[in-house]
Amino acid sequence: MDISIFSWNVQGCGHRRFIPTAKQFIRDYKPDIVLMVEPRVSGSRAERFIAAMGFPHSHRVEAVGFAGGIWLAWWDTVDLDIILNHFQFVHFRVTVKRTGVSFLSTAVYGSPCSTKRNRLWSNLRRLATNIRSPWVLFGDFNATLLDSDRKGYAASSKPSIAFKNLLYDHGLRDMGYSGPDFTWTRGNAFVRLDRFVCNSYWDSEFPDSHVEHLLRFGSDHHPILLSVGAPMRHHRPSSFRYFAGWQQHPDFTHLIRENWHPSNSMTEALSNLAKVSEAWNKTVFGSIGARKRNIMARLHGVQKALSTRASAFLRRLEADLLCELEHWLDQEELMWKQKSRAD
End-to-end CA distance of the chain: 37
**Mean pLDDT to the nearest integer, 49-61:** 91
Q: Do 144 and 210 lie in a common domain?
A: yes
Q: Do 150 and 8 lie in a common domain?
A: yes
Taking the CB of residue 188, how many other CB atoms lie within 10 A of it?
Answer: 11
Give the pLDDT band of residue 268 (cuts 50, 70, 90).
Answer: confident
Each residue's pLDDT tens digit, 94-112? 999 999 999 999 999 999 9
Domain hosting 257: range is 244-339
User: Is 153 in a helix, a strand, or coil?
Assistant: helix
**Mean pLDDT to the nearest integer, 273-288:** 62
Residue 30 and residue 57: Cα distance in Å, rounded?
15
Residue 116 and residue 26: Cα distance in Å, rounded?
32
Last residue within a domain, chosen from 172, 196, 228: 228
Task: Give helix 312-339 / helix 288-306 axis angle, nearest 10°.
Answer: 150
Q: What is the pLDDT of residue 96?
A: 95
Last residue within a domain, chosen from 184, 203, 228: 228
**Mean pLDDT to the nearest integer, 281-310:** 70
Q: What is the pLDDT of residue 205?
A: 94
Examine residue 194 and state whether it is found in any structural domain, yes or no. yes
What letter would DSSP give residue 290?
Answer: H
Residue 310 and residue 157: Cα distance in Å, rounded?
20
Q: Do 313 and 169 lie in a common domain?
A: no
Last residue within a domain, chosen from 228, 261, 293: 228
More confident residue, 170 or 302: 170
What letter would DSSP give residue 93?
Answer: E
Residue 87 and residue 105: Cα distance in Å, rounded?
16
Residue 109 and residue 69: Cα distance in Å, rounded?
8
- What is the DSSP track for 230-274? --------------GGGGGSTTHHHHHHHH--TTS-HHHHHHHHH
Q: Do 136 and 248 lie in a common domain?
A: no
Q: Do 24 and 118 lie in a common domain?
A: yes
Q: How far is CA 90 from CA 16, 158, 160, 247, in A?
A: 28, 27, 21, 47
Examine residue 234 and state whether it is found in any structural domain, yes or no. no
Examine residue 236 and state whether it is found in any structural domain, yes or no. no
Examine residue 301 and state whether it is found in any structural domain, yes or no. yes
Examine residue 250 and state whether it is found in any structural domain, yes or no. yes
In the chain, the number of structural domains is 2
Examine residue 273 and state whether it is found in any structural domain, yes or no. yes
C-alpha R_g of the chain: 23
Q: Do 109 and 43 lie in a common domain?
A: yes
Q: Do 102 and 144 lie in a common domain?
A: yes
Q: Do 189 and 108 lie in a common domain?
A: yes
Q: Do 296 and 147 lie in a common domain?
A: no
Q: Do 224 and 249 lie in a common domain?
A: no
